Amino acid sequence: MKLARQLDGPVEDIAQHLLGRRIRTEFSPGPTEVVITEVEAYAGARDPASHAFRGQTPRNAAMFGPTGTLYVYRSYGIHWCMNVVTGGVDDPSAVLIRAGRPVIGADIMARRRGRADHLADGPGKLTQALGVTGDHDGTSVWDGPVRLLEGSPRRGHIIASPRVGISKAVAWPWRFVLVEG
């Protein structure tokens, strides 16, 4: 599994490597797929903004799983957010998948979202469009219902900026956006 080996290293580097990759789901009524266009890196125990900073809890247990585990949690009690664990059991780092560009199943995404525009341009919109919920927490992106696909990342310009919606380590430039072109 070549991609699995590429998820080893500093989470801020891995986050950039995920840009341009695809995430695919195959739930009823059909497949959906996006190109990852925005991510944020969270460095586990060394990152005060990480859900794993203070150790393992029932809510964040998936972050302490093997590389490629999905960590899905509800944000503000409303939206599901999806992260890919990168550090493995000894380093609960993860990459929050913030946004994607629909490439397969846009009609299905529009039905799930109740609108035809802005389908996956935010972490809650993305999970809703793909059909990802808390039921997918702890599953594997290699052989689970939400797949991170092999292949070369799409080329483009990457913009780094501070992460959004956090109150600690706010200046760390670990939000990455792919400007395709």
pLDDT of 16-69, one tens digit each?
999 999 999 999 999 999 999 999 999 998 998 899 899 899 999 999 999 999
**Has residue 9 got a pLDDT over 90?**
no
| pLDDT of res. 151 | 64
Amino acid code (one letter) for 135: D
The stretch 92-104 carries a mean pLDDT of 97
**Has residue 14 got a pLDDT over 90?**
yes
Mean pLDDT, the chain, integer: 92
Q: pLDDT tens across 103-135, in order?
A: 999 999 999 999 999 999 999 999 999 999 999
Place of tokens 């994607």: 100
pTM, rounded to two decimals? 0.94
The CATH H-level (homologous superfamily) assignment of domain 2-180 is: Methylpurine-DNA glycosylase (MPG) (3.10.300.10)
- pLDDT confidence band for 8 (50 / 70 / 90): confident
Tokens of 134: 């808390």
| pLDDT of res. 177 | 96
pLDDT above 70 coverage of the chain, percent: 94
